[in-house]
Amino acid sequence: MKLITCILCLLFVPVPFAMAEDAPAEPFAFADFTWLNGNSRQKSSLLDSKYFTGEFTADANYIMDFNHPQDHSLDGSCESGRTSEFQLQQLGIGGDFHYEHVRGRLMTQFGMYSSLTPINDYSTSRGQGNLGSAYKYLSEAYGGYHWDVMHGINLDAGIFMSYVGLFSYYNFENWAYQPSYVSANTPWFFNGLRLQVFPTDKFKAEFWLVNGWQSYGTFNSAPGLGTQLLWRPNGNVSILSNDYWGHDTLGIAGRMRIHTDDSIEVKYYDDMTAKMDKAAFSLTVDAGCENGGGVSCNGGKGGPAQNFLGFMAYNRFWFKKDIFAITVGGGAITNPGRYLVLTPPINGATSASGGANSAYFTQNAGDPFKAWDASLTFDYMPDQFVTFRVEFDHRYANTPYFVGPNGITPSNGAGSFTNQGAAGSYVSGFTPDLTKLENRINFALMVRI
């Protein structure tokens, strides 16, 4: 009887087993990568189901700026915009849809993100449709299709998180609250098409056709092109190279932008039985330039130099089975031409109203800008769904850039501060208080379910 039973097992059972062995491995599922900077540290989702994996995320902060600006303004950051107040930085509700080969993702952005993100996109000033308002409450919104080829191929269309810059748009996924300039001054999102190809379970190649550099619309006629190559040879190393090409100066179609962003992350210590159970570092180097239309990459006959060069490095230590963590890091940039410097919101200035025509902070061809920063971050993570964070940031620029005690908003003379006239316009008798130095402490409570 046992022999007959075994024969029947061999006849009927091996088929599904063989299929399981022959099925391609899921990409990057061979190891635990929740330690990565810019990657979710969650190992499971509470809102998972067969067709939809839900997500709720909340990020609230209180920022103590040692400059004590009287209008509570903060500039040079996409991750925060007010000081000395409790603010809801980001509230997102959405998730991932998945049915057979069809896929999609929706994530809202309410709170400060819905205001800070659109003002850094000046493609919205071209043509009709009011793109800044149309998309302001969406951080991610796309649909796509999956093919079971190699280890998977995905084609998606819509709004995606950027592949440029190591840090995530969502602070819950980052080692620090305020990323260095290399990440903070590069795109947080793209609008267009994305093709993901997984030749193996350890390598991914992405190809992008997008409207432009962090833009809902196009700046000229040509789209932006980009690639990402991501390789994780084992559970302790992640190497990526991101590259971009486009014409991203509004109204100057002959000006080309190229940019490369390259990172390595290494987990060099892992012992869950020790008090300090993990340690890892990340290093990111960025380089790029603009050429044509009166500027050149290196200066000379083509016009003033307009380029970008920078780095950032972070080291993180985890303690007590990942309940506590300390991160130390920082970086520096040089950006003559200031084409990637975030426009200070002086009198309500935006990227569309500011730039080279700004009344108070110019971004003319060749204008110098050099800056560096350092940060120290402490995290308390009682479980995988919540992070309590305290962080000290020190930032410096070679030109007055950060908000000083008297603020960057005109006073109406009655104790309040309100923008006057057109956004970023000159106001008689008003001088914004800009300083080269900023020190602040960020307190944040971040939740993701």
Residue 80 phi/psi, 5° resolution? -160, 155
- Is the pLDDT assigned to residue 412 strictly greater than 90? no
- 8-state DSSP, 100: T
Q: What is the DSSP string of 269-280?
A: EE-TTSSEEEEE
Contact criterion met (CB below 8 Å) for 180 and 142: no
Distance CA 66, CA 297 (A): 37
Distance CA 352, CA 217 (A): 13
Tokens of 109: 């952005």
Distance CA 366, CA 358 (A): 15
Distance CA 396, CA 319 (A): 31
Digit-coded pLDDT (tens) for 138-183: 999 999 999 999 999 999 999 999 988 899 999 999 999 999 999 9
Predicted confidence band of residue 224 (pLDDT cuts 50, 70, 90): very high
The residue to which tokens 């947080």 are assigned = 188
Q: In angstroms, how far is CA 85 from the centroid of its own chain?
A: 24
Predicted confidence band of residue 364 (pLDDT cuts 50, 70, 90): confident
Mean pLDDT (the chain, rounded): 90
Distance CA 27, CA 221 (A): 36
- Is the pLDDT assigned to residue 2 strictly greater than 70? no
Average pLDDT over residues 352-366: 75
- Is the pLDDT assigned to residue 191 strictly greater than 80? yes
Distance CA 437, CA 395 (A): 6
Distance CA 129, CA 200 (A): 42
- 8-state DSSP, 408: S
Distance CA 430, CA 417 (A): 11
Digit-coded pLDDT (tens) for 30-86: 999 999 999 999 988 888 899 999 999 999 999 999 999 999 999 888 888 899 999
Percent of the chain with pLDDT over 90: 73
Of the candidate ranges 220-224, 268-272, 319-323, the one whose mean pLDDT is the lowest? 220-224
Contact criterion met (CB below 8 Å) for 69 and 407: yes
Digit-coded pLDDT (tens) for 105-122: 999 999 999 988 888 888
Nearest to 169 by CA among 148, 188, 183, 191: 188
**Segment (H or E) for 153:** strand 153-161
Which residue did the predictor score with more confidence, 236 or 364?
236
Contact criterion met (CB below 8 Å) for 367 and 355: no
The residue to which tokens 């602070």 are assigned = 171
Tokens of 255: 């000006």
Q: What is the DSSP string of 20-85?
A: HHHSPPPTT-SS--TTSTTS---S--TTB-SSEEEEEEEEEEEEEETT--TT-B--S-SS--BSSS
Distance CA 86, CA 77 (A): 17
Q: What's the Cα-to-Cα distance from 264 to each of 241, 312, 334, 339, rounded to whole Å?
A: 9, 11, 21, 26
- Is the pLDDT assigned to residue 341 strictly greater than 60? yes
Residue type, 249: T
- Is the pLDDT assigned to residue 374 strictly greater than 60? yes
- 8-state DSSP, 347: G
Predicted confidence band of residue 354 (pLDDT cuts 50, 70, 90): low
| Sign of the C-alpha dihedral computed for residues 362, 365, 371 and 377 taken in this order | positive
- Burial state string for 147-177 with b = 16 or more CB within 10 A and e = fewer than 16: eeeebbebbbbbbbbbbbbbbbbbbbbbbbb
Distance CA 196, CA 212 (A): 19
* Length of the chain (residues): 449
> What's the pLDDT score for residue 128?
86
Contact criterion met (CB below 8 Å) for 160 and 142: yes
* 3-state SS, residue 354: coil
Number of other residues whose CB lies within 10 A of the CB of residue 445: 14
Predicted confidence band of residue 357 (pLDDT cuts 50, 70, 90): low
Domains and their CATH numbers in the chain: 24-448 (2.40.160.10)
